[in-house]
A and B are shown apart, each in its own frame.
Chain A
């Protein structure tokens, strides 16, 4: 079983929708929780990271961590066609990173 499991998708939503992307994990030692966005043929780009349970907001993006349930989420409000990409969750413990397999999101105009 993988240490990090990500909802596989793909996900297709209309412009303006609220998107929820989710990952679960099994390793309690993970210290930081990150979300990356990857456009086709590009390197991943960091959206947000957090280290404690709770919510962290940055513009239209909200990252949520629930350490007791070992569950993290990324919410995108008012989704735009430019948000169409693959979203990767990642977790890190003392420098060692583990990524989810990614969820491909398409936002239709």
Chain B
């Protein structure tokens, strides 16, 4: 089944404890992206990648890191999480390098205490 998977789906952690949210797609898509969704603020792009080894900042990259070492994976790293990073996170991928046909994962709900 063609899909974008995210792990974990739910995570509660404490301030300052490094964490990684994994994202994997099995569709051989060129483009991948991370978003956060907050009430009243909508869906905001964190980082995106149009190809392996190429990543670019979205609108809210502060406090996040990403890497794209292989086509299928695009992990999101929070080196020192803070409570303002409590959010619902979505990973997405697109077969088109421009990213205009994005297929979203199920989301990861992160709580930072």
Contact surface of A with B, Cβ cutoff 8 Å = 31-32, 34, 41-46, 49, 51, 88, 90, 92, 94-102
Per the CB 8 Å criterion, the residue count for chain B at the interface is 28
The answer to whether B103 and A99 touch across the interface, beta carbons within 8 angstroms, is no
5 nearest A-B pairs in the assembled complex, by CB-CB distance: A43-B104, A32-B100, A101-B42, A99-B43, A95-B99
A46/B102 contact (C-beta < 8 A), A95-B48, A97-B33 known: yes
Answer yes or no: B90 CB below 8 A from chain A CBs. yes
Give the chain B neighbours of A44 by CB distance below 8 A. 43, 90, 92, 102, 104
Taken residue by residue from 90 to 113, chain B's Cβ proximity to chain A (1 for < 8 Å, 0 otherwise) reads as 101000011111111111000000
A49 to chain B: which residues have CB within 8 Å? 100-101
